[in-house]
Amino acid sequence: MLADAPKAIRTLLLPLAVYLAWTAATYVFEGRIHQMLHYDPVERATYVVIANVIVGTIVAAWALRRALREWVGEEEEEGKRERAGAVTSREEMGFRSLRRTLPAVLVASIAGLGIFLIQIQRAAVSDPILILNAFALVLPVSIAEVIVCWALLGSSFERLIRPWGRAAAALVGILASDVFFAVYHFAHSPPFNQPSAVLFLLLPGLVTGIAYFAGRDVYATIVIQNFLGMMGVTRGIDVQLYSQPLLPLYILAILAVGALVASDILVIGRRGATLSYRDR
């Protein structure tokens, strides 16, 4: 049976609060001013740092740490360390060792770039500088999307459905994170905030969800999500503007990656819980 109501509320309260704060920050600093429709370095930096680095990465990582500690405590108290579908380790949330992450990121990069080049038909997108700029433009957002929607919310819903078994729990995690990911885009600039676009985004969100729950690697999932996001963004950006090097975009992308790695090591912690239903 499902977890009891108080436990369900306790499991979802913090993840939902982080999601709402992240969505609100996205609307205030991006969607409200239609920031994606023009390039202003200051506005872009404000949006990326506040919405995606601070709220979507650092605060979300803190919420992940809190969730892990609470879930491990519940397992120890209940004496059910082997319950099907339990998410009780940083590895199950996708924060794996460097030895496991590097090959996963390499495979995701090759697959993502291949899919991107096949799907994009505009000749201008073949420009390496434009592709680099699009990758850097989307990356901070992709990091926050994966951490909030899949690692935090998806794992939380998976946790609630754990008595139904591992497959059912993962399926619920995939579907829940996909819906939250799509709905979040109502806070963005046009055309991404249109109902038709939000419905369409359920498809790439589903792909990302499968990649996350099948591979259990946050960094590889971010790479896949970033290439999927680039497919939409490159159709709406100013080709002439983004065909020249844009140093501020690269700095923000590096900052976002640095915040992710620092949060992984310092906030979530390499010495986290080790309870898991998978053999390592």
Tell me what pLDDT residue 76 has.
54
Contacts of 209 by beta carbon, 8 Å cutoff, 6+ apart: 150, 154, 173, 174, 175, 177, 178
Tell me what pLDDT residue 74 has.
63
Q: What is the band of 122 on the pLDDT scale with cuts at 50, 70, 90?
A: low
- Structural domain boundaries of the chain? 5-269
Distance CA 132, CA 130 (A): 5
Residue carrying the six token digits 């201008």: 124
Residue range 113-132: mean pLDDT, rounded: 75
Q: What is the band of 275 on the pLDDT scale with cuts at 50, 70, 90?
A: very low
Q: What is the band of 232 on the pLDDT scale with cuts at 50, 70, 90?
A: confident
Q: What is the band of 160 on the pLDDT scale with cuts at 50, 70, 90?
A: confident
Distance CA 56, CA 78 (A): 32
Cis omega (within 30 of 0) on the bond before 191?
yes
Tell me what pLDDT residue 84 has.
42
Give the model confidence (pLDDT) of 26-47 as tens digits: 999 999 999 988 889 999 999 9
Tell me what pLDDT residue 43 has.
96
31 φ/ψ angles, rounded to the nearest 5 degrees: -65, -40
Lowest-confidence pick of 30-39, 57-66, 122-131, 217-226: 122-131
Q: What is the mean pLDDT of the chain?
A: 86
Residue range 131-149: mean pLDDT, rounded: 95
Residue 121 has pLDDT above 90, yes or no: no
Q: What is the band of 130 on the pLDDT scale with cuts at 50, 70, 90?
A: confident
Lowest-confidence pick of 4-18, 88-102, 125-139: 4-18
Tell me what pLDDT residue 88 has.
58
* Angle, CA 116 vertex, CA 225 and CA 170 arms, to 5°: 35
Q: What is the band of 119 on the pLDDT scale with cuts at 50, 70, 90?
A: confident
The helix/strand/coil state of 18 is: helix
Q: Are 152 and 176 in contact (CB under 8 A)?
A: no
Residue range 72-78: mean pLDDT, rounded: 59
Closest of 279, 270, 275, 273 to residue 95, by C-alpha: 270
Contacts of 5 by beta carbon, 8 Å cutoff, 6+ apart: none
Residue 77 has pLDDT above 80, yes or no: no
Q: What percent of the chain has pLDDT over 90?
A: 61
Closest of 158, 164, 209 to residue 182, by C-alpha: 209
Q: What percent of the chain has pLDDT over 70?
A: 85
pTM here? 0.89
Tell me what pLDDT residue 103 has.
95
CB-facing half-sphere around the CA of 102: CA atoms within 13 A: 3
The runs of H, that is alpha helices, within 27-97 are 41-47, 60-78
